[in-house]
Amino acid sequence: MTVVPFPSPMSPSRPVRRSVGGSRRAAVPAVSPSALPWPVLWLRRWRGRRELATLDLDQIRDADLDPFEVRREAMKPIWRA
């Protein structure tokens, strides 16, 4: 695993770990959502909601989630928490 510097207005010198040969997109540090710049927060929400939208009914039930709540969360716009 290598350490790649991750430029951020919040902490310009904090490195983020990224696996060699892994995903090409930059890793987003796990911090409080209120500390993230808006575009990063919206991108995180978009990715999470896109993943929720791909779950089938069996996967939703296996996770012990309400299908109605999952669909409602997946359909929210990115600017809504």
Length reported for the chain: 81
pLDDT per residue as tens digits for the range 25-50: 555 566 666 677 889 999 999 999 99
Quick one: tokens of 9? 């207005």
CA distances from 39 to 20, 22, 26, 51, 58 (A): 26, 23, 14, 18, 32
pLDDT per residue as tens digits for the range 1-17: 444 444 444 444 444 45
pLDDT at position 7 is 47
pTM: 0.54
pLDDT at position 23 is 52
Task: Specify the residue for token string 């892994």.
Answer: 22
Quick one: tokens of 62? 């296996």
pLDDT at position 6 is 44
Give me the mean pLDDT over the 72-79 stretch.
Answer: 93
The domain ranges of the chain are 35-81
Count CB-CB contacts under 10 A for residue 52: 19
